[in-house]
Amino acid sequence: MFNQLYSASSGVSVGRTWVRELLIKEAHEALHLQKKLKHRVPEQVPLNSVWGIDTTCVTDANKTQNIVFGIIDHGSRLNAAMQYLKRFNSWTFLGCVFLAIGEYGKPTAIKTDNHPVFHSR
């Protein structure tokens, strides 16, 4: 990619061997940076600012799958809502969110995954 972008204008090109040797030489530092990023302390988020919302299926003793809905406050790690849903549609989702807003107040942002229920009309 470097050669395609810059070799015509600058006359400088890079070989595969040089790139491979550079990656091997820097692998130790990259490993330390990866560990440092993995074990860093997360930055502080204000309370009730960002909520994470998701669903999962839990199988009970009768081998039936039940949908469980959960809301977690990113700032305090508070479990704002955790409940079983009989139906999984936009109205049920909004009802659960409005009940949590009524109890804890309105968050600044809500993070969800890309499930159709979360981004429907």
**Nearest Cα to Cα of residue 55 among 21, 23, 92, 108:** 92
Q: What pTM, to 2 d.p., does this model score?
A: 0.63
Average pLDDT estimate for 26-41: 87
Q: Residue holding tokens 């989702």?
A: 93
Residue 121 has pLDDT above 80, yes or no: no
Range of the domain at 66: 50-119
Q: What percent of the chain has pLDDT over 90?
A: 40
**Number of structural domains found in the chain:** 2
Question: Based on the domain organization, do 106 and 59 belong to the same domain?
Answer: yes
SS3 state at 23 = helix
Cβ 110 vs Cβ 53: under 8 Å: yes
Question: Based on the domain organization, do 32 and 89 belong to the same domain?
Answer: no
Question: Based on the domain organization, do 54 and 95 belong to the same domain?
Answer: yes
Q: Which tens digits make up the pLDDT trace of 41-93?
A: 878 888 889 999 999 999 999 999 999 999 999 988 889 999 999 988 889 98
Q: For residue 43, is it within any domain? A: no
The whole-chain average pLDDT of the chain stands at 88
